[in-house]
Amino acid sequence: MVNKKINWRSFTSIYMGFSFILMALTGIVLYIAPPGRVAYWSNWFFIGLTKTEWQSVHTIFSFLFVISGIFHIIFNWRPLLNYLRRKAEESLKIRKESVLTTFTVFIIFTGVYFDVPPFNYVIDLGETMTNSWATTETEPPVPHAELLTVSEFAKIINNNTDELISQFAENGYVISDTNETIQTLATRYNISPSTLYNSIKVGKNQDVISSKYTQGSGIGRKNLSEILKENDIVWEEGIAKLTAAGIQITEDGKIKNIAESNKISPIEIIKALGID
């Protein structure tokens, strides 16, 4: 007779293997995925999953991986104790390896914390790849504009609410409630918020009231030189403005790092440069 009893030790080991693969896969996808403001505005998805769904899968399987790891230790407690006891007896033989491992972990942690090469290259590459998704078609007028109501959105793009409703209607998108969010409206017509917005933006030269450099727009990841170049401000002029505002600059670097060293927010640097 076949024994149908489940071997939970084997189940846990196999599950941890699959979880590791899924964690690695979702981690890679999230590494190259567009920033949230772009992903949600353009309804970005990959292999049928949105960024939110990829994040959910990654979080759940990471959480369950930890739990399964605990059970793995419980199921293999005796072999683990025997292994540790044997290694303790051989401690003199692995002393160099233990010191090297500890030193390696310390170096990696310190390098990541202080954002120094080569560790910052990995982070910078990821940010470059994620920011490459942002285009004039996929970038929202303000971060998370899809959560704004129709009336709020009209103010953001410097438009009259009635005029905005009329423009949407001309393109086949009927609005019956100005308290309806842009995301809800887009979902109702099975399109992305960016498609909805672009339908009225083409040829109308819409002006956005709020600066494109707002909290949550990803300015912290940009270098100061990038911000200056985007706004046609020469380096010497930009440094002079920041110095006049009491912001100390010693060299080019990420806005977030400059802000942290001056104990201010990234948006305060933008304001000090006089960028609207």
Separation of CA 136 from chain center: 19
CB burial readout 100-139, b (16+ within 10 A) else e? eeeeeeeeeeeeeeeeeeebeeeeeeebeebeebbeeebb
pLDDT in the model for residue 91:
61
d(Cα 204, Cα 224) in Å, to the nearest integer? 32
Q: 138 or 90, which is more confident?
A: 138
- Which is nearest to 148 in space by CA: 181, 190, 124? 181
Tokens of 212: 């494109």
Residues 234-246 have a mean pLDDT of 91
Q: How confident is the model at residue 209 (pLDDT cuts 50, 70, 90)?
A: very low
pLDDT of residue 210: 44
Predicted confidence at residue 1, as pLDDT, reads 46
Per-residue pLDDT, averaged over 152-159, amounts to 89
Higher pLDDT, 239 or 96: 239
- Segment of 3-7, 35-39, 54-58 carrying the highest mean pLDDT: 54-58
Q: Which two tokens stand for residue 177?
A: 């409630």
What is residue 252's predicted lDDT score, i.e. its pLDDT?
Answer: 87
The mean pLDDT of 262-274, rounded to a whole number, is 86
Per-residue pLDDT tens for 136-148?
Answer: 788 888 888 999 9
Q: Where are the alpha helices (DSSP H) in the chain?
A: 8-32, 36-42, 51-75, 77-89, 91-113, 119-131, 150-156, 161-170, 182-188, 193-201, 224-230, 235-244, 255-261, 266-272
pLDDT at residue 168, rounded to an integer: 93
Q: What percent of the chain has pLDDT over 90?
A: 44
Q: Of 178, 167, 157, 192, which is closest to residue 44 (Cα–Cα)?
A: 192
pLDDT for residue 3: 57
- pLDDT score, position 39: 94
| Segment 167-206, tens digit of pLDDT | 999 999 999 899 999 999 999 999 999 999 999 875 444 4
Average pLDDT, the chain: 85
